[in-house]
Amino acid sequence: MALVLGLVCGSVALAQVASASSPAPPSSSSPAAALPSGGTGRSGPVVASGTVPDEATRAAVIGRLRELYGADRVVDQLSLGSVVAPPQWRDHVSKLLSPALKQVSHGQLAIQGQTVEIRGEVPNEALRQQLASDMAQSLNPTYTVRNGLRVAVQDQTVVDQALANRIVEFEPGSAVLRPASLPLLDEMAAVMARLKDRRFEVIGHTDADGARPANVSLSLARAQAVKTYLTGKGLPADRIAISGMGPDQPVASNATEAGRARNRRIEFRVGS
C-alpha cells in the first residue's frame, strides 16, 4: 500500500505505508509517493521523503513512524530546507500519523496548505467515515479534510466471482486436466496475477466414492496439476500453496450424481 503526504512550504512524502503532515502557506511544490498495493503497514519499507524546516521536525516525523511501523522498516529521506511550517505543525503530524492509517491500502495522504486529502481503500464503510472524521477532529478548524477513501472489494470476492461456481474438470479418476477447463484456468490466472501482493491456496476436493486415502491423494494431485498450470501462466510458485481434502468437505450430498459432481471441485482461497 502506499500513502503520500505533501506539505506546501515544507513537505513530507511517505511511501509504502501511511503518513501525514500539516501544511504551511503556499510556496514550494508538494511531493507525492505511491505505495505498493496490499495492506498498509503489512510489509515493505516505509519511505519518508520531502523537506522539513528543522532537525527537530525531522526527528519527530521519523520517530513517530518508527513507533508505528518499526525502526527496521522506516527509510529516512527527509531533508532540511528554508520552509515555514504553520503553528503547531509537529503536533499535527503526530496526530495524523495514527495507527488507523495502517488500515488504508492503495492510499495517498496529501496536505496542501490547510487542506488534507486522504485517498485509498479501507475494508468497510464505517471505517471510511471514521478515519476522516478522526482526522478532522484532531486538527484545528482552519483545516479542511477531504475524504477520498473508498471501500475495497475483498480479494476473495474477486476470485470467487471469477470462478463463478464453475468446476475445474479432470479426466475420471486422474489428475489430468480436461481441455475444456483450460479457458477457466486462464481466467483464474489473470485474476490472481492482478492481486500482486496476495498468496493463494489451491485446494482439491473429491466425492465420497472409493477409499478415503486414495481420494485424499487424488485431490492433492489435482491441486498440484492446477498449480502447475497456473505457474506455467507466469504466477510465482511461492505464492501458491496446495492441499487435498479428499471427501472431507462436501458442498452437496454424495447420494446423487449431481451432488457428487459438485463435490469434485477445485477451491481457490486467497491468503495474506
Q: Give the model confidence (pLDDT) of 204-254 as tens digits.
A: 999 999 999 999 999 999 999 999 999 999 999 999 999 999 999 999 999
Choice between 53 and 138, residue whose per-residue pLDDT is larger:
138
Question: pLDDT tens digits, residue range 109-138?
Answer: 776 667 788 888 787 788 888 899 999 998
- Is 192 in the same domain as 131? no
Question: Is 19 among the domain residues?
Answer: yes
Q: Is 264 inside any structural domain? A: yes
Q: Which of 151, 182, 207 is the last residue of a domain?
A: 151
pLDDT at residue number 121:
79
pLDDT more than 70, % of the chain: 81
Q: For residue range 171-202, what is the model confidence (pLDDT) as tens digits?
A: 999 999 999 999 999 999 999 999 887 889 99
CATH of the domain at 175: 3.30.1330.60
- Asked if residue 163 and residue 111 are part of one domain, the reply reads no
Question: What string of H, E and C letters represents the secondary structure of the chain?
Answer: CCCCCCCCCCEEEEECCCCCCCCCCCCCCCCCCCCCCCCCCCCCCEEEEEEECCHHHHHHHHHHHHHHHCHHHEEEEEEECCCCCCCCHHHHHHHHCCHHHHHCEEEEEEEECCEEEEEEEECCHHHHHHHHHHHHHHCCCCCEEEEEEEECCCHHHHHHHHHCCCCCCECCCCCCECHHHHHHHHHHHHHHHHCCCCCEEEEEECCCCCCHHHHHHHHHHHHHHHHHHHHHCCCCHHHEEEEECCCCCCCCCCCCHHHHHHHCEEEEEECC
pTM of the model: 0.51
Report the candidate in 59, 99, 102, 98 with the shortest Cα–Cα distance to residue 78: 59
Asked if residue 45 and residue 127 are part of one domain, the reply reads yes
Q: With a cut of 60, say whether residue 31 has pLDDT above it.
A: no
Q: Does residue 5 form part of some domain?
A: no
Same domain, 139 and 166: no
C-alpha distance from residue 205 to each of 12, 61, 80, 133 (Å): 51, 51, 60, 46
* 3 is a domain residue: no
Residue 44: the pLDDT is: 58
What is the mean pLDDT of the segment spanning 45-57? 78
- 121, 151, 181 — which closes off a domain? 151
pLDDT interval class at 263 (50, 70, 90): very high
Q: What's the structural domain count of the chain?
A: 2
pLDDT category of residue 5 using cuts at 50, 70 and 90:
very low
Would residue 6 count as lying in a domain?
no
| 92 occurs within a structural domain | yes
pLDDT above 90 covers a percentage of the chain that reads 40
CATH code for position 55: 3.40.1520.20
pLDDT of residue 18: 36
258 and 164 together in one domain: yes
Residue 84 in any domain: the answer is yes
Domain range enclosing 259:
155-270
Say yes or no: 141 and 18 in one domain: yes
| pLDDT, average across residues 52-61 | 85
Span 86-115, average pLDDT: 76
The reply to whether 186 and 140 lie within a common domain is no
User: With 50 as the cut, is the pLDDT of residue 4 above it?
Assistant: no
Co-location of 67 and 195 in the same domain: no
More confident of the two residues 75 and 211:
211
